[in-house]
């Protein structure tokens, strides 16, 4: 759940200021927090906070690879978070739901090391207790590439529904994807895809 704690921290802006100032504050917090958590360059187009609907919308979040590479390891066009307000007064952040739309995640080996949206080796630990009740990922793409092997594989139309359970554990309600793989020097122009589905699988966090 990459950057989830940082994205959720924007909920604290409820107590800061209304309107555009609130959105600007939240945008800065999300961008700086995700960059610190992943140790990579981050850009965010916009963050919109609605106090009335308890909704936070993050648009066009892009995490770049370590320089000098200019590729992106993570691109998320839209993240929507629904916040439960009362736990904030108890020092807890409770996210009723997080919806991640059309994420693109890339892993590849370059110059002898793997790249991807991995957590930073060292990072500050937040003091805010965070609870996630439901996570939905819609129409995601995950790719792996190792040109030295060579191997390329890609999963498209990835969908995931997860809900929390008592004691902090969780349950995967639904997983689906269309997968393609290719043993060659790069992605093929036309590959065979196979679908796989998994429903109601018990899982921990």
The pLDDT value given to residue 3 = 53
Of the listed ranges 17-31, 60-74, 98-112, 187-201, the least confidently predicted one is: 187-201
Q: What is the CA radius of gyration of the chain?
A: 18
Q: With the C-alpha atoms ordered 89, 91, 94, 100, is the resulting torsion angle positive or negative?
A: positive
Whether residue 188 is predicted with pLDDT greater than 70 in this model: the reply is: no
Would you say how long the chain is, in residues? 205
- What is the tens place of the pLDDT at every residue in 130-160? 788 999 999 999 999 987 777 888 999 999 9
Of the listed ranges 3-12, 28-37, 154-163, 196-205, the least confidently predicted one is: 196-205
Domain boundaries, the chain: 4-203
Give the predicted TM-score (pTM) of the model.
0.75
CB 34 within 8 A of CB 119: no
The pLDDT value given to residue 52 = 87
The pLDDT value given to residue 172 = 77
pLDDT band at 168 (very low <50, low <70, confident <90, very high): low
Whether residue 179 is predicted with pLDDT greater than 90 in this model: the reply is: no
Prior bond of 25 cis (ω within 30°): no
């Amino acid at each position: 759940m990459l950057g989830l704690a940082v994205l959720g921290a924007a909920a604290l802006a409820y107590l800061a200021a209304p309107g555009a100032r609130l959105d600007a504050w939240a945008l800065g917090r999300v961008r700086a927090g995700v960059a610190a958590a992943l140790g990579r360059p981050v850009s965010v187009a916009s963050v919109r906070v609605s106090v009335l609907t308890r909704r936070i919308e993050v648009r066009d979040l892009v995490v770049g690879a370590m320089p000098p590479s200019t590729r992106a390891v993570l691109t998320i066009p839209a993240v929507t978070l629904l916040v439960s307000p009362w736990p904030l007064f108890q020092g807890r952040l409770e996210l009723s739901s997080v919806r991640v739309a059309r994420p693109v995640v890339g892993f590849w080996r370059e110059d002898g090391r793997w790249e991807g949206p991995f957590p930073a080796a060292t990072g500050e630990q937040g003091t805010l207790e965070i609870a996630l009740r439901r996570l939905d990922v819609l129409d995601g793409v995950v790719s792996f590439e190792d040109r030295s092997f060579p191997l390329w594989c890609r999963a498209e139309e990835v969908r995931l529904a997860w809900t929390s359970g008592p004691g902090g554990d969780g349950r995967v309600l639904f997983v689906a994807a269309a997968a393609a793989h290719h043993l060659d020097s790069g992605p093929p122009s036309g590959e065979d895809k196979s679908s796989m589905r998994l429903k109601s699988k018990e899982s921990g966090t």
